[in-house]
Every structure is written in C-alpha cells, then in structure tokens.
Amino acid sequence: MGYFELFISCIFVNNILLAQFLGNCPFLGTSKKMETAVGMAMAVIFVTVMAGTITWIIYTFILVNYDLVYLRTIAFIVVIASLVQFVEMFLKKSIPALYAGLGIFLPLITTNCAVMGVCVLNIDKEFTFLDSLAASLFYAIGFGLALILFAGLRERILLARVPKPLQDTSIALITAGMISLAFFAFQGMV
C-alpha cells in the first residue's frame, strides 16, 4: 500500500475514533473547550508516534526473537506508561502553560485506548517499520482532526436548547454519530 492510500485510509476511512472506536474517553472528556481539545490532540500525536515506533522495535527485536509474544500486552503498556511520564516531565519543565491546560488528561493518555490500539494494530497488520511509523502518525492526526472538529460542534451545542434527559453526554454521543456518518462517506475511497 502506498503512503497516500495509507494516509487516506488511516485519517478518513478507518478513523481511529469514529470508525474503530478507540480513545472515546478523552474524545468526550476533552472536547468541551477548543483549547483543551487542541492540547490533547497535540499530546496524543506526539505520544502515539513515539509509542508506535518504540513498541514495534521492542516487539520485533525482543519479543519475537525470544519467543515472548504472549507478553505483548504487558510490554506495550509499560512502554506507553513510561513515555507518558516522560512527556509529562518535559511539558512541566518547558511548556508549563500547556501542562496546566491539559491537567488531568495528560496522565490519562496512558489509558487512552487509541495509543495502545495503534501499537497493537501495527503489529496485527504486520506493518514494516516505516509503515508503522507512518500509520501511527496518520492515525494520530485522524484522532486530532476528529477531536477538534467535535470540539467546535460541542461549543455550538452549548448555545442550543437541549431537552433535559438528552443533555451533556447523551447529545454529545449523538453528535459524534453524525460526524461518524460524515466520515463514513469516505468508505470505498481506498
């Protein structure tokens, strides 16, 4: 598969949030304000690309070589957890404003299924190193795109009069369904 097809496939057709349903907790949690959504998108892109490549290297050169494939889940989560810790320390020191803005959601990237999901998908699809680097980047961009689009819509919903039982999460989910429907139209492109 060429990189252009991979690009379209990862961002639009198989969007990690809207078609594969990974990373929905931060999707609903950080999308109330545009600023946090942008910060979260950046943090996720950075962590996903790093995690995607590092876990690929560890899986291929250590786990497969020593016949330890069954340890995949444990190994991956340890890599992701330490990476997030590292990013947290880095941001705290160099970009304190962004660190304060992300707040609780930064440590929560550890339990963001999108990051772990991309790492597992790269292995399951038997990607080469460059493919998994590109796929991690594209999946993460797709995550950021969907999150920012959704945050824009949610800011508008605040102004709308929503029936009481539908308020908050319920209407957010239905809106997400509508964006998902829009992304669905890309199916068949690749």
Partner 1 sequence: MPKTIVQEFTKGLWEELPPFRLVLGLCPVLGVTTTMENGLGMGIATTFVLFGSNLLVSLLRNIIPQKVRIACFIIIIASFVTIVELLMQAYAYPLYLKLGVFIPLIVVNCIVLGRAEAFAYKNKLSYSMADGLGIGIGFTLSLGALGAVRELLGNGSVTIWGDTSYNLMSVFPSFQPFEFMVQAPGAFVCLGLMLCVINAVGD
Binding region for partner 1 (CB under 8 A): 18-25, 28, 70-74, 76-78, 81, 107-108, 110-113, 115-117, 120-121, 124, 164-167, 169-174, 176-178, 180-181, 184
CB closer to partner 1, 13 vs 49:
13
Separation CA 168–CA 171 (nearest Å): 6
CB closer to partner 1, 23 vs 52:
23
Roughly how many angstroms between the first and final C-alpha of the chain, as a whole number?
10
CB closer to partner 1, 81 vs 95:
81
CB closer to partner 1, 41 vs 97:
41
- Min dist CB 110 to partner 1, Å, is 7
- Min dist CB 156 to partner 1, Å, is 17
- Min dist CB 117 to partner 1, Å, is 6
The residue behind tokens 């669905």 is 184
Identify the burial level of 133 via C-beta atoms within 10 angstroms of its C-beta, where 0-12 means exposed, 13-18 middle and 19 or more buried: middle
Separation CA 171–CA 165 (nearest Å): 9
CA distances for 9 relative to 3, 23, 132, 145, angstroms: 10, 18, 13, 14
CB closer to partner 1, 4 vs 70:
70
- Min dist CB 165 to partner 1, Å, is 4
- Min dist CB 124 to partner 1, Å, is 7
SS3 labels along 40-70: HHHHHHHHHHHHHHHHHHHHHHHHCCCCCHH
